[in-house]
Each structure stands twice: as structure tokens, then as C-alpha cells.
């Protein structure tokens, strides 16, 4: 793929998840584009375009070989080496993310956590050591971390984001309910859970009318 969009990456991640589930839940070794489309919520044509963009092609008679397609997607989207991630904020959400994330079999691992509460630092949670936020810059540079998860109040989010960028962070998953001001070369994904639930609640009410 000469040009990759956010939507394509999102679909490839969903395709891989669907392929893995399909291989686990059945004895099938192959899958057709229309079957993968149904599982992923995409169209058959979109599935074929996305997979062709990987340089991968299936068989008209048998479809795509599941294992090799999973490998092809992995080579495209996964880091070359296991990626280290930092998380800022060890409240209930932050701790839950570390606990869940590091139990998964991923090519990524949360290796450092930061907080201002003395009772939450200098501990180890699911293999992840916690530090005071004053140590954030030095630890991120020491571990060569480029991705961070932000789980702090919105009032502090921009200031901490500026420090993360100064430390070398290139991508941020933001749970704070605020739009961050970042340079164009920094990728931010916002997950405002309250806004998401408000949207779900709105459409749930509309569908009941």
C-alpha cells in the first residue's frame, strides 16, 4: 500500500481478529472474501481491495488461506520488535488497562506507569513498574518508549501531553475528555467514554420510539 489511511488500518486489525476467531472456532483453513466481509462488517469489495493492498492474493476456488493471511496482516501492522508502552494515571481505569493489556498475547507491552500519588508508585503491576510522574521524561527516554496511554483528568492532560512529546512520544491513546493540541507528526486517538455512552444512549432511545 503506497498510502495507508486510518480506516484501512482499523479494518485490517478487525480482519485479523475475525480470522483468528474463525480458525479457533472451526476447523476451516480457508475463508472467502464474502465470509470475511460478513464477520467484519465490511463489504466483499472492500475486503478484497484491502487485502490486495497487502500484496496478498487468495484462490478463486478456496479463498484466502487463514494462517498465511493472518501472518501477512501481522507483517504489515505489527512492530518489528515488541513495542514498549507507557501509561500515565493509575486510577481505576489505568490499573484495569494495565491488568487487561499485559494479559493479552500482543506485540506490545505496557512497561512503565506514572502517577503523582505516592501510594501508587514504586510498585509492580502485571510486570509493569510504576514511577512518580516526575521521572516520566527520563524513564521514557531510557526505555525508548514511543507510545503512551493517557488516563488522567482533563485539567492536567495538555501539560502532561507536552512533556510526553518532549520525551519522544509519537502516539497517544487519550482517555481524558479533552482534545489535545499536538504537532502534526504526533498521532492521537481520543476515547471519550462519556461521549461514547451518550451517543449509545441517544440511539438506544431513538430505536425504542
Q: Tell me, what's the pLDDT at 173?
A: 97
What is the rounded distance in angstroms from the CA atom of residue 110 to the CA atom of residue 141? 15
Q: H helices then E strands: how many in the chain? A: 8, 9
Q: What angle, rounded to 10 degrees, do the helices at 6-25 and 44-53 form?
A: 100
Beta-bridge partner residues of 148: 86, 172
Q: Is the pLDDT of residue 121 over 80?
A: yes
Q: Tell me, what's the pLDDT at 105?
A: 62
In degrees to the nearest 10, what's the CA dihedral of 183, 186, 187, 190? -60
What is the rounded distance in angstroms from the CA atom of residue 116 to the CA atom of residue 134? 8
pLDDT digits 0-9 by tens, 52-71: 999 898 888 889 999 999 99
pLDDT digits 0-9 by tens, 192-203: 888 888 888 888
> Could you give the domains of the chain?
6-77 (1.10.10.10), 83-195 (3.40.50.720)
Q: Tell me, what's the pLDDT at 196?
A: 86
Percent of the chain scored above 70 by pLDDT?
A: 97
Q: Is the pLDDT of residue 50 over 80?
A: yes
Q: Which residues contact 99 (CB under 8 A, 6 or more apart)?
A: 125, 126
Contact present, 19 and 36 (Cβ < 8 Å): yes
Q: Tell me, what's the pLDDT at 1?
A: 47
If pLDDT is split at 50, 70 and 90, which confidence band does 110 have?
A: very high
What is the rounded distance in angstroms from the CA atom of residue 109 to the CA atom of residue 100? 11
If pLDDT is split at 50, 70 and 90, which confidence band does 3 have?
A: low
3-state helix, strand, coil in the chain (%, to 5): 50, 20, 30
Q: Is the pLDDT of residue 132 over 80?
A: yes
Is the entire prediction scored with pTM above 0.85? no
State mean pLDDT over 106-111: 86
State mean pLDDT over 107-119: 93
Higher pLDDT, 77 or 159: 159
Q: Could you give the strand order of the β-sheet that contains 128-132, starting from the edge strand earlier in sequence?
A: 124-125, 128-132, 108-115, 83-88, 147-150, 171-174, 187-190
Return the residue matching grid coordinates 480506516.
Answer: 7
Q: Tell me, what's the pLDDT at 154?
A: 93
What is the rounded distance in angstroms from the CA atom of residue 74 to the CA atom of residue 49? 17
| Among 141, 135, 134, 130, residue whose Cα is nearest residue 167 | 141
Amino acid at each position: 500500500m503506497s498510502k495507508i489511511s486510518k480506516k484501512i488500518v482499523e479494518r485490517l486489525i478487525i480482519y485479523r481478529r475475525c480470522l483468528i476467531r474463525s480458525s479457533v472456532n472451526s476447523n476451516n483453513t480457508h475463508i472467502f472474501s464474502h465470509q470475511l466481509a460478513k464477520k467484519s462488517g465490511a463489504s466483499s469489495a472492500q475486503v478484497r481491495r484491502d487485502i490486495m493492498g497487502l500484496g496478498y492474493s487468495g484462490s478463486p476456488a478456496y479463498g484466502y488461506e487463514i494462517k498465511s493471511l493472518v501472518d501477512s496482516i501481522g507483517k504489515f501492522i505489527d512492530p518489528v520488535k515488541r513495542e514498549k508502552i507507557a501509561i500515565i494515571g493509575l486510577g481505576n481505569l489505568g490499573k484495569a488497562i494495565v491488568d487487561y493489556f499485559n494479559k493479552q498475547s500482543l506485540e506490545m507491552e505496557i512497561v512503565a506507569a506514572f502517577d503523582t500519588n505516592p501510594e501508587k508508585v514504586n510498585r509492580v503491576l502485571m510486570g509493569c513498574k510504576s514511577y512518580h510522574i516526575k521521572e516520566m521524561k527520563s524513564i521514557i527516554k531510557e526505555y525508548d518508549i514511543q507510545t503512551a496511554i493517557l488516563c488522567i483528568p482533563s485539567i492536567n492532560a495538555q501539560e502532561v501531553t507536552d512533556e510526553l512529546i518532549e520525551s519522544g512520544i509519537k502516539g497517544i491513546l487519550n482517555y481524558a475528555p479533552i482534545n489535545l493540541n499536538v504537532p502534526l507528526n504526533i498521532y492521537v486517538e481520543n476515547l471519550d467514554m462519556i461521549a461514547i455512552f451518550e451517543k449509545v444512549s441517544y440511539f438506544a432511545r431513538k430505536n425504542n420510539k
